[in-house]
Structure 1
Amino acid sequence: MPISSHLSQSPEGDTFVKIRFLAACTALAAATALTGCSQLAGSADGPQKVTLWLMKGSASEDFITKFTSSFEQEHPDIDLEIKIQEWTGIGEKVNAVLAGKSKESADVIEVGNTQVAQYIETGGLSEVTLEGLRVWGSKDWLKGLSDPGSINGAQYGVPWYAANRVVIYNKDLFDDAGVKPGPKTRQEWISATQKLDKGSQQGIYLAGQNWYVLAGFIWDEGGELAVETGGQWVGTLGDDKGLAGMEFYKQLQALGDGPKDADEETPPQAQVFARGQVAQIIGTPSQAAEIEAANPALKGKLGFFPIPGKTAEKPGAVFTGGSDLIIPDKTPHRARAVEVITALISEKWQTELARTMSYVPNKTTLAHLVEGNDGAATMAVGAAQGRATPPTGRWAELEGKNPIKPYMTAVLTGQDPKQAAKTASDTISKVLSSDR
């Protein structure tokens, strides 16, 4: 899912990048053990075209240019056509390719991490479990990226990059209040925020319907948004763990003037923070640039720290946004598709992508790549505790109805939490378990 919307492109006007790719069996021993050398043989008629779909905004032109140049030098025997796609309407386009009903083709496709489940459910994805274990080091993948791409132990989505929420704070306001940034526990965070919430100054601006943040609090309590039982999904906002997560959200939200009946984009929280009277918001570090653009006087005065956990041993759980890479089962170039992914997720290109785009790399073992970038490094700390929405293809439909938002508003405006949670959980159960 686009990071801009979760924390968060058509062939007309596509950007095309030609990359030559050498498919030598001797150079791809690890991959060919899985896919077969015969598939890698080059065509006698010349280079073979392989198509990669990337989403608009995921990688900069500079990244693509560098990737192209390096890849062309190392692999001169394949034409890799990179098509930039729009997020709007991408689901239909991907499903058409997976079903073999599209006039277009794609051999590797970037998709939002929470979208993979729906593609697994509808069918048409190539399983990559063995490649993950033998070639790609899947044991170190961020779970918030890898778990949504897996079902019953079989892997279909390959983590590419991640982003998650952190606390963005105003250094001047913290200094003025004598508050040390970077609380390690929820209780320390509440205490600090209480000191920051004074007069016209807000300790934190937290909109009432920021359900991604609520999800993290519920996960910290050991709860879930929904669980699968006997093949049926059941909403679990109303169990003790879910209610405890909502209670902490309510306590924190009260230390500012965030609207109880709107989400973080209504109005945009970066714009509210930019007015200079908000000590903290919870968002992706990329929002710092929006804040500074709206109020240049805040440039250099913004800091970041991970969302605190229940104890100091580990930070709070966070919703992980980002992208996975998938291979359509109908591609005639599966072995080459594997090699394209191998390059994109290599340490070399994970380093370049992380530094160019300020993303979190796809492995916990690569967190050091973003050292020196305060925002990305802070994200990487939280990413180790990253999670994603329940792995069901119906989740996107549920978000369209989104019963979690009115549930949060109901609790924040004084309604009975258990009854409000039951109403929302019943809707979750109905949507996730109903027939299409």
Structure 2
Amino acid sequence: MVKASRLRSILVLVLAVCMMAGIVAGCGSSATDTKSSDTAASTAAASSTAAADSSVSQEPVNLQFWTISLQPTFTDFFNKLIETYQNDHKNVTVKWTDLPYDAIQNKLITAAAGGNAPDVVNLNTEMALTLAGKGILVDLEKEATAEQKSVYIQTLFKSASLADATYAFPWYGAPEVMIYNKDLFAKAGLTSTPKTLDEMLSMAKQMKEKTGAYLYIPDEFRRILWLEGINILSDDKSKAAFNTPEALELLTKYQKAAKDGIIPKDNWGQWEKMLQQYNTGKLAMINSGAQSINRVKDEAPNIYKNTEVTEAMVGKAGIINNSVMNLVVTQLSKHHTEAIDFAAFITNDDNQLAFSKTVSIFPSTTKASQDPYFKSDTSTIEKKAISIVADELPKTADMTLAVTKQLDIYDALKKAQQSVTVHGGDPKKALDEAEKKVNDLLAADK
């Protein structure tokens, strides 16, 4: 095991680098429709891990639990959960700290440097894998029980894996739906929404010419590759695999669309930019999690009145992005068993279902995801989106590379796209340069 002093040093370095990438995101304080916190209390009471579990020490245990942007909207909900857990585990005291998106990274750096890193932390999959690759996180394959690991949708549980190790309990996800402006589609004379990326490109010109609005801002180039079934890395993750004739054709096609002005040249995959454009009537549709509808409702009520939802647009692979938030346990924790038990409690079937009933997210456990609640009411656009997500779930995936250099690889692909769509560079040269950069990154990481 890596020594605590070295873990602290590594964590500080890794988080300092990740700050520039901006890859940690939470449920967000803009989430609405919070129900009574009594739901959390009653559900938690029924689902709490048995206090008599002999694997959990009866010595006094203090756990630090860090989350991202859940207060004040969900303060009562999580206080009830924590209270229930502590009542069932008399020796455990949980201190909950909620931090805004732009603060958690600095706080983690400071805490790690002082040898006081939290025990259980809320991270997205990319951040979790980056830390896992540096030996910062507990391998749940080794330290969690079979029962604890069995409740999750296995594709989501394995999304935070490196080789044979898994470093996170998946918590809540946001499978994408298509959110679109009915008025702009009508003005453009378009009677249906695009089902595929190819259809989107074929319809984008008509939307732009008839309304002046963009039909769609493309996702990050790496995700376009995934959606179109083009592997970024080889099966053994030892070398780049994306420099193919199919990728060249794809990048060339997007270069022409950008040059013709029917899609933006840059800011691909920038969610805040997409939402801003949509909320001002300059963008006709976005592929995004159902919780984005709340932002539209709050920030652009007139646009909200003309908003409708349908299934997310897909590429040739037929998969839909499902960005998952997770709970991880740090190696610096002095109480691995208890921290794992608490993380499993927060993310179990009953508590995930209760949380999903307070906000437009989707659970990562098998039983909760199949609950009739998700299809029982389509009276509002928000609830209709959740019903669509329930049908989409088998086609969703958390799109991560599961390698320690993934952020650098993503950056290489982004630069390739920008060199072509923004600066008019040669697509073949851009892919060749990106391939070399990625291979160098992978070789250096061996």
Which TM-score band applies after superposition, normalised by the shorter structure?
A: 0.7 to 0.9
SS in 2 for 1:199: helix
Name which of 319, 332, 335 aligns with 1:333.
335
SS in 1 for 2:337: helix
Whether 2:219 is the aligned partner of 1:218: answer: no
- Alpha-carbon separation, structure 1, partners of 2:92 and 2:356: 26
Tell me by how many angstroms 1:200 deviates. 3.1
Matches within 5 A, 1:117-196: 117-129=129-141, 131=144, 133-137=146-150, 140-141=153-154, 143=155, 145-177=156-188, 179-181=190-192, 183-190=194-201, 193=204, 195-196=206-207
Q: Residue 347 of structure 1 corresponds to which residue in structure 2?
A: 349
Name which of 288, 292, 298 aligns with 2:293.
288
Judged with a 3 Å threshold, the aligned counterparts in structure 2 of structure 1 residues 122 and 265 are, in CA distance, closer, same or farther, namely: closer
RMSD: 4.0
- Alpha-carbon separation, structure 1, partners of 2:260 and 2:179: 16
Q: Residue 83 of structure 1 corresponds to which residue in structure 2?
A: 97
SS in 1 for 2:185: helix
Q: TM-score, normalised by structure 2?
A: 0.73
- Alpha-carbon separation, structure 1, partners of 2:186 and 2:150: 43
Name which of 392, 395, 418 aligns with 1:384.
395
- Alpha-carbon separation, structure 1, partners of 2:285 and 2:315: 19
Name which of 234, 238, 242 aligns with 2:239.
234
Name which of 289, 303, 322 aligns with 1:298.
303
- Alpha-carbon separation, structure 1, partners of 2:267 and 2:195: 28
Name which of 417, 427, 437 aligns with 1:427.
437
- What amino acid sits opposite 2:164 in the alignment? G
- Alpha-carbon separation, structure 1, partners of 2:389 and 2:127: 22
SS in 2 for 1:223: coil
Tell me by how many angstroms 1:40 deviates. 2.4
Q: How many residues align?
A: 397
Q: Residue 411 of structure 1 corresponds to which residue in structure 2?
A: 420
Q: Residue 272 of structure 1 corresponds to which residue in structure 2?
A: 277
- Alpha-carbon separation, structure 1, partners of 2:264 and 2:369: 35
- What amino acid sits opposite 2:81 in the alignment? F
- Alpha-carbon separation, structure 1, partners of 2:258 and 2:66: 40
Name which of 351, 360, 363 aligns with 1:361.
363
Q: Indicate conservation of the 8 Å contact 2:345/2:351, yes or no.
A: yes
- What amino acid sits opposite 1:121 in the alignment? G
SS in 2 for 1:299: helix
- Alpha-carbon separation, structure 2, partners of 1:330 and 1:267: 34
SS in 1 for 2:356: helix
Percent identity among equivalent residues?
Answer: 18
Tell me by how many angstroms 1:68 deviates. 3.0
Tell me by how many angstroms 1:159 deviates. 0.8
Name which of 79, 85, 98 aligns with 1:71.
85
Judged with a 3 Å threshold, the aligned counterparts in structure 2 of structure 1 residues 105 and 274 are, in CA distance, closer, same or farther, namely: closer
Q: TM-score, normalised by structure 1?
A: 0.75
Whether 2:60 is the aligned partner of 1:51: answer: no
Judged with a 3 Å threshold, the aligned counterparts in structure 2 of structure 1 residues 121 and 417 are, in CA distance, closer, same or farther, namely: same
Tell me by how many angstroms 1:96 deviates. 8.2
Q: Indicate conservation of the 8 Å contact 1:204/1:253, yes or no.
A: no
Q: Indicate conservation of the 8 Å contact 1:395/1:432, yes or no.
A: no
- What amino acid sits opposite 2:284 in the alignment? A
